[in-house]
Amino acid sequence: MNSSGQSYQHTIQDEISISGAGIHTGQSVTMRIKPAAPNTGINFQRVDLPGKPIVKADVDFVVETNRSTTLENNGARVSTIEHLMAALVGMQVDNALIEIDGEEVPILDGSAQPFVEALQKAGLQEQNAVKIYYNIEHNITFSDEEKKVEMVALPYNEYRINTLIDFNSPVLGTQHAAIKNIADFNTSIAPCRTFCFFHELEWLLAHNLIKGGDINNAIVVVDKEVSEEQVERISKVFNKKDVQISSEGILNNLELRFPNEPARHKLLDVIGDLALVGYPFKAHIIANRPGHASNVKFAKKIKEHIKKYKNRQEVPKYDPNKPAILNVQQIEQVLPHRYPFLLVDKVIELTEKVVVAIKNVTYNEPFFQGHFPNNSIMPGVLQVEALAQAGGFLAIPRDTEDKYDTYFLKIENCKFKQKVIPGDTLILKMELLQPIRRGICEMKGTIFVGDKIVTEATLVAQIVKRPKA
């Protein structure tokens, strides 16, 4: 977030490489995390496959949730992505390309901490694209009675999560974990490692899972009576000696980093799986007994909700009671246009990269006399002109006595979605797509009436200094 209070998207500054074994496949893989363009999101690329296919980190492409979360698209499959996705959310990386030469993301120490440390080393790069957070309009709930799972997303002005786990285990008992601000992720959640129960290990091995399992990358909870023979067999599988059960019911492979580390790791998984919603959103998430399958189903419900209300939430907030940043007299000091061709009444938001202006359309507009008489519709070309005039406040240098004109060079992807009629209040939003170079300005323009998009286009203009009289 910059000094204007506007949030912008981020990628990483430098490419990073991470290698290790996948916990289930046992395959040694190398990942290269690279910077990516704005609005591209997180994408995995299987560089070991013909054509190097890409699969987007999106809930629509989840194909499996057995012990981890797996994506598949374009013939590419990538599994155990949740810890890396959680680290990207915690580091607030919006766009990245992850090249991987195998099917499974390396497990490393079973937490998100190694990924966070690598991303911190790479550094963040702010991008020329606004980051839009979507709000939850009403409670979104998910439940699975058989698994006793309950999840809810509540409207909230930040991203907050509470998790509760209860495995009917005398060792773990009931555990709770919470994060009130995503900024706390790196210290309080990222270090927390995955866990499993001792009695699950033999089942996992019998089903060809945890081939890359190592006694150092998971907390092993022993909550049922086990024989010395079972402990010895597991010891041989992991090539470890002197494996014992501690008094706390944890295999003596490692010490807990937090008393409630298992609950915190479940919260980590929730963050990683909900990252697949594909839109940054704010909500208070409460998850009771979450798991990958439930997280993914819940993520799909949140995504459906955001898509339904998406356009409404992108509308700039216009409060006519608030004083304008620039009134019409001040606008005339910047723009060369005058009545009847001045199509901006006031400016309500102005940063280096975004401007929002207002045009009140009345029945007395001169163009209504000859444009479809008795069927008053504002000409589309004048709507685009209004956008261009608003964009002038991004393009024309301020704090100078020099006067400038702006000229169209190109109009692309122009769409008129709704009629504009007398009585409409146009909210004109222009966003700078690229830094201005050599007087060339590329902007994305959107016109809203109420909560509906009526017009959108990409405009390229040239700024020319006006000769002095």
Active site residues: 292, 371
Q: Which helix (H) or strand (E) holds 117?
A: helix 113-122
Q: Which helix (H) or strand (E) holds 402?
A: none
Distance CA 68, CA 57 (A): 14
Strand partners, 443: 432, 459
Strand partners, 67: none
Residue type, 317: K
Contacts of 278 (CB under 8 A, 6+ apart): 41, 56, 57, 58, 59, 303
Strand pairing of 346-350 and 140-144? unpaired
Distance CA 444, CA 384 (A): 11
User: For residues 368 and 379, is the Cβ–Cβ distance under 8 A?
Assistant: no
Residue type, 52: K
Contacts of 451 (CB under 8 A, 6+ apart): 311, 312, 315
Structure tokens at 219: 């907390």
Ramachandran sector of residue 455 (left: φ over 0; alpha: ψ -120 to 50; beta: rest): beta
Instruction: Dump the DSSP string for 60-116.
Output: GGEEE-SSS-EEEETTEEEE--HHHHHHHHHTT---EEEEESSSB---TTSSSHHHH
User: For residues 326 and 385, is the Cβ–Cβ distance under 8 A?
Assistant: no
Cα distance between the two ends of the chain: 42
